[in-house]
């Protein structure tokens, strides 16, 4: 039996006054699939192909202009599209739960985390008062949030992106749904917490028979979780297959290219395979296959006739005209020369950086302690090189990046950019230096002004820092033609179309908004770019475009990147050097080869072991036990000892000094 049956679902959006001349947009154009109790069905595809819109259509949470104009959505014998709104309120949360893609916009900014979880418990259970609060703390603990009792009384803005994502998962699980729709549930999570969350979801669906519709761009997560896989493109499914068959040999040309775009160490210094062009706009009408314009194997029939569903030898259902579907593999793109340091003096030098946030209590709000977000960090970054900063959510990576740019004033320490000390300069003195250092923030929606068109957003930095000219009215008008000419190529560089300059942020998918944020940072020609999870919201094909773009810019402009990420595959491909951070401190640093293939710190080894691997049968994942301690109350001695299998009394007494293994490899561990 099926718990959810979607048949020929079509969602249309009329052009409206803001899109004169455009046709009806069809973001979902006849999609059908079934999910049985306890099954995980994974929906793959590029940003803008209709995955999230499909989920919103199932939940009846579509944007105001969008309408489900055809098809049925049958959940436990009821057609959800025919239910009144009062009936849907009973289904949402209790029958079907949903984890949204962007926690910053889904969580109420004026309510505490605890209040929002308790609200879900009160709506879908009989829990009230202290019982509901205790259950809320238990849910936070289940999804791997350290110090859950303290977090209950914090607001969303006080949490990192990864912690906000886990709060969203806790709220979705509060109603104990029979079907959970997870829209990029692990996008903002590091590999260790990702393993915990995926295990939690997997355990719930196996014990409770909960079905899972998993929307993701991470092929490793699909290999870890999915029973069946559906590949979506241009509003339609183009391939459907059991997990083992899909990972052993993908059938559709589009699926093959998704695998070819995955980064790894073998391609370091070279270029990743990319899919030319971009996903067609939803208002484009198609006579034949929707992928034909981007497919090198296309024949005449592909452009003229819609491809039928067919079953190939490997067992997949595929919507393709090719007799044997896709080729087994694509030719590899040759590697180029690795980028080397070009100067003896570091471009960025950080010494003993500390960022402490006071904990205030009582009527007088006296400081009774401090959250040691960054607690003595030192690193160097040379021009033309990439330093990857990795570690679990909440370890201080983002705070450190903001402190280096003086977006957060450090408590102590020194930060020098090209020999200039930043920590002693006023805001006015820092302004001329802003063009040299830019940041791509983790949450693209929160960092883009919703009232400005993206052309204005990108051009704003040019005008403010004197790298471009805008019209007299401050907008992209006739007087701003020179700037408009600069914005268009920037959009094309990051995989968007130049004619999108007049659209607003809400008209783009999460991955497209991330590309806009990258274009804005690059617009002022910085020397240093701090990238905070810049590819976490991107599917693998667009990720390959961005990584190729970053590599090209680094080679041509000698840019330096501080790359904050939890994606070890991206680190292996892009980074020259790696620093591993735990509870506000760097515990291991060295070249990428030293840290990723000769790691000595137990924490680094645990991070690498938690990375999901694609092997066709699901990866072997080694989980890191326990949770990271609270930075407000770090343990004595080595901060990692409560979770370390090698810890002894010496580890509990003193914080380990730095031990060197060669000229560049340094580790803070007495067991190394």
Cβ pair 239, 231 in contact under 8 A: yes
**So what's the architecture of 348-355+371-451+504-667 in CATH?**
3-Layer(aba) Sandwich (3.40)
Distance CA 635, CA 642 (A): 8
* Global confidence as pTM: 0.76
Those residues whose C-beta lies under 8 Å from the C-beta of residue 558, and which sit 6 or more positions away, are 342, 383, 384, 527
User: Which pLDDT belongs to residue 477?
Assistant: 42
Distance CA 33, CA 45 (A): 15
Pairing of strands 25-35, 4-13: antiparallel
Closest of 389, 357, 358, 349 to residue 373, by C-alpha: 357
Closest of 587, 582, 578, 561 to residue 672, by C-alpha: 587
Distance CA 666, CA 672 (A): 10
- Write the DSSP assignment of 64-120 as a string of letters: TT-EEEEEEEEETTEEGGGS-HHHHHHHBTTTEEEE-S-HHHHS-TTS-HHHHHHHH
Low-confidence ranges of the chain (pLDDT < 70): 16-22, 161, 188-189, 269, 323-344, 467-484, 510-511, 537, 615-627
Give the angle 26-32-38 at the CA atoms, nearest 5°: 130
Pairing of strands 412-417, 348-361: antiparallel
Question: Torsions phi, psi of 72, nearest 5?
Answer: -135, 150
Cβ pair 583, 631 in contact under 8 A: yes
The domain segmentation of the chain, as residue ranges, is: 348-355+371-451+504-667
Closest of 448, 441, 443 to residue 507, by C-alpha: 448
Beta-bridge partner residues of 564: 389, 532
Pairing of strands 96-99, 179-183: parallel
Q: What is the DSSP letter of 158?
A: G
Closest of 575, 454, 569 to residue 507, by C-alpha: 454
Distance CA 622, CA 606 (A): 7
Cβ pair 258, 333 in contact under 8 A: no
User: Which pLDDT belongs to residue 342?
Assistant: 46
What does the pLDDT look like over 116-167, one tens digit per residue?
999 999 888 888 989 999 999 999 988 878 789 989 999 998 887 678 888 9
Rg (CA), the chain: 25
Q: What is the DSSP letter of 584?
A: T
Q: For all residues of the chain together, what is the average pLDDT?
A: 85
Cβ pair 452, 468 in contact under 8 A: no
User: Which pLDDT belongs to residue 537?
Assistant: 65
Distance CA 25, CA 22 (A): 8
């Amino acid at each position: 039996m099926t718990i959810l049956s979607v048949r020929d679902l079509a969602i249309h959006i009329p052009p409206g006054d803001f899109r004169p001349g455009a046709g009806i947009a069809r973001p979902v154009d006849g999609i059908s699939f079934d999910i049985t109790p306890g099954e995980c069905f994974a929906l793959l595809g590029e940003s803008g192909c209709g995955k999230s819109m499909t989920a919103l259509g199932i939940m009846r949470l579509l944007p105001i202009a969008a309408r489900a104009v055809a098809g049925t959505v049958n959940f436990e014998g009821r057609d959800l599209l025919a239910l009144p709104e009062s009936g849907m309120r009973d289904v949402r949360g209790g029958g079907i739960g949903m984890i949204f893609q962007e926690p910053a916009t889904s969580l109420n900014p004026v309510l505490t985390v605890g209040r929002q979880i308790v609200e879900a418990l009160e709506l879908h259970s009989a829990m009230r008062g202290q019982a509901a609060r205790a259950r809320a703390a238990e849910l936070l603990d289940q999804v791997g949030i350290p110090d859950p009792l303290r977090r209950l009384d914090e607001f969303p803005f006080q949490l990192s992106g990864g912690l906000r994502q886990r709060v969203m998962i806790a709220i979705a699980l509060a109603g104990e749904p029979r079907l959970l729709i997870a829209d990029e549930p692990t996008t903002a999570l590091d590999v260790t917490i990702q393993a915990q969350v995926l295990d939690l979801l997997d355990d719930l669906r196996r014990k409770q028979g909960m079905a899972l519709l998993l929307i993701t761009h991470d092929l490793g997560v699909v290999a870890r979780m999915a029973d069946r896989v559906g590949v979506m493109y241009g509003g339609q499914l183009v391939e459907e297959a059991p997990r083992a068959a899909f990972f052993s040999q993908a059938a559709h040309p589009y699926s093959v290219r998704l695998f070819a775009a995955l980064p790894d160490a073998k391609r370091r210094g070279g270029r990743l395979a990319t899919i030319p062009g971009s996903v067609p706009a939803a208002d484009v009408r198609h006579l034949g296959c929707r992928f034909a314009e981007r497919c090198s194997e296309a024949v005449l029939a592909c452009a003229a006739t819609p491809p039928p569903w067919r079953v190939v030898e490997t067992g997949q259902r595929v919507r393709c005209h090719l007799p044997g579907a896709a080729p087994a593999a694509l030719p590899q793109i040759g590697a180029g020369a690795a980028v080397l340091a070009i100067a003896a003096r570091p471009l960025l030098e950080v010494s003993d950086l500390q960022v402490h946030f006071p904990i205030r209590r009582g009527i007088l709000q006296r400081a009774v302690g401090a959250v040691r977000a960054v607690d003595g960090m030192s690193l160097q970054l040379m021009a033309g090189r990439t330093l990857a900063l990795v570690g679990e959510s909440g370890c201080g990576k983002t705070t450190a990046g903001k402190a280096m740019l003086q977006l957060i004033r450090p408590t102590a320490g020194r930060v020098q950019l090209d020999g200039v000390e930043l920590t002693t300069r006023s805001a006015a003195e820092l302004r001329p230096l802003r063009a040299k250092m830019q940041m791509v923030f983790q949450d693209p929606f929160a960092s883009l002004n919703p009232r400005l068109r993206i052309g204005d957003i990108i051009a704003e930095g040019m005008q403010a820092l004197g790298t471009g000219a805008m019209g007299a009215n401050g907008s992209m008008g006739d007087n701003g033609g020179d700037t408009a000419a600069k914005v268009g190529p920037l959009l094309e560089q990051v995989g968007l179309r130049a004619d999108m300059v007049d659209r607003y942020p809400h008209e783009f998918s999460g991955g497209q908004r991330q590309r806009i944020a990258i274009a804005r940072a690059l617009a002022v020609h910085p020397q240093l770019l701090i990238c905070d999870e810049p590819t976490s919201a991107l599917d693998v094909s667009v990720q390959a475009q961005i990584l190729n773009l970053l590599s090209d810019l680094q080679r041509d402009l000698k840019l330096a990147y501080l790359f904050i990420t939890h994606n070890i595959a991206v680190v292996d491909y892009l980074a020259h050097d790696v620093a591993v951070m735990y509870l506000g401190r760097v515990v291991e640093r060295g070249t990428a080869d030293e840290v990723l293939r000769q790691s000595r710190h137990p924490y680094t080894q645990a991070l690498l072991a938690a990375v999901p691997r694609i092997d066709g049968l699901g990866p072997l994942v080694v989980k890191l036990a326990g949770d990271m301690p609270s930075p407000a109350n770090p343990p004595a001695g080595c901060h990692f000892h409560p979770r370390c299998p090698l810890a002894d009394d010496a580890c509990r007494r003193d914080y380990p000094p730095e031990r060197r293994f060669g000229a560049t490899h340094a580790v803070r561990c007495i067991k190394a």
